[in-house]
């Protein structure tokens, strides 16, 4: 049985949305970060960073939402959440799958802290560049890989929803609004939102 370790109102939302999209049976294990449960020795075996989400699937254990998305989409290809390894779309899928944690999240931290980082040394370039690149890609729509919804949409959609709508840290753009609307309209997103609210 897949076990998803989560906490309400946290980055767990991405992994919950993923699992709800898969239709696979899974057990949600409440890991209350308000009480420090994520620092318990047993949980640190799942995610040594002491963060949620975490996932165990038999002998496999891992943390990090994008890694969980990659693992589940590959481990359970019947979910059709990832292009096959020999599909040319696989390259872009992997790029966008990890765009949220490697570009969107650092860009938000830059915006929030007003941190000035030279674009030549910042791995994400700049906040403006991150959202300009994403805007250009989403204009092609409806999903990040065109007509195919994938786990990459879960990481991008989750990150962009928080950036643009929940925290209002990113100015609205027509492509962002339309994309987020498509994500929010998915029944799995709606179920995940209810679960993640606690």
> Rounded to whole angstroms, how far apart are CA atoms 68 and 74?
10
Q: Please tell me whether residues 181 and 95 are part of one structural domain.
A: yes
H/E element holding 19?
helix 12-22
Contact (Cβ atoms closer than 8 angstroms) between residue 160 and residue 173: no
Tens-digit pLDDT profile for residues 85-127? 999 999 999 999 999 999 999 998 888 888 888 778 778 888 8
Q: Please tell me whether residues 54 and 132 are part of one structural domain.
A: no
Q: Please tell me whether residues 95 and 65 are part of one structural domain.
A: no
Q: Please tell me whether residues 93 and 65 are part of one structural domain.
A: no
Number of domains in the chain: 2
Q: Please tell me whether residues 10 and 69 are part of one structural domain.
A: yes
Q: Please tell me whether residues 66 and 129 are part of one structural domain.
A: no
Q: Please tell me whether residues 52 and 98 are part of one structural domain.
A: no
For 13, phi then psi, to 5°, come to -50, -45
Mean pLDDT rounded to a whole number for the chain: 94
Q: Please tell me whether residues 75 and 123 are part of one structural domain.
A: no
Q: Please tell me whether residues 75 and 122 are part of one structural domain.
A: no
pLDDT at 117: 81
CATH number, position 155: 1.20.1050.10
pLDDT at 94: 97
Please give the radius of gyration of the chain, using alpha carbons only, rounded to the nearest integer. 17
Judged against a pLDDT cut of 80, whether residue 196 lies above it is answered with: yes
Tens-digit pLDDT profile for residues 44-55? 999 999 999 999
Q: Please tell me whether residues 182 and 109 are part of one structural domain.
A: yes
Q: Please tell me whether residues 36 and 120 are part of one structural domain.
A: no
Q: Distance of alpha carbon 122 from its chain centroid, rounded?
A: 21
The pTM is what? 0.94
> Rounded to whole angstroms, how far apart are CA atoms 29 and 137?
36
> Of 162, 181, 42, whose CA–CA distance to 111 is shortest?
162
Which residues lie below 8 Å from residue 139, measured CB to CB, with a gap of 6+?
175
Cβ neighbour number for residue 52 with a 10 Å cutoff = 27
CATH number, position 18: 3.40.30.10
Domain residues for 103?
89-186
Q: Please tell me whether residues 26 and 93 are part of one structural domain.
A: no
- Give Cα separations from 183 to 21, 27, 112, 124, 172 (angstroms): 11, 24, 25, 24, 16
Alpha-carbon dihedral 49, 52, 56, 59, rounded to 10 degrees = 0
């Amino acid at each position: 049985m897949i076990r998803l370790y989560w906490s309400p109102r946290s980055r767990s939302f991405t992994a919950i949305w993923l699992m709800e999209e898969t239709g696979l049976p899974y057990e949600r294990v409440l890991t209350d970060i308000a009480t420090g449960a994520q620092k318990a020795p047993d949980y640190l075996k799942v995610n040594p960073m002491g963060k949620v989400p975490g996932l165990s699937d038999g002998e496999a254990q891992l943390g990090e939402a994008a890694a969980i998305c990659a693992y589940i989409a590959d481990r359970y290809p019947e979910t059709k959440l990832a292009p096959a390894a020999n599909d040319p779309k696989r390259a872009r899928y992997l790029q966008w799958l990890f765009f949220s944690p490697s570009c969107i999240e650092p860009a938000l931290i830059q915006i929030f802290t007003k941190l000035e980082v030279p674009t030549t040394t910042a791995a994400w370039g700049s906040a403006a560049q991150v959202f300009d690149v994403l805007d250009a890609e989403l204009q092609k729509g409806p999903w990040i890989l065109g007509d195919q919804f994938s786990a990459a949409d879960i990481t991008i959609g989750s990150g962009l929803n928080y950036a643009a709508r929940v925290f209002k840290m990113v100015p609205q753009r027509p492509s962002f609004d339309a994309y987020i609307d498509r994500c929010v309209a998915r029944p799995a997103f709606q179920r995940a939102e209810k679960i993640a609210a606690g």
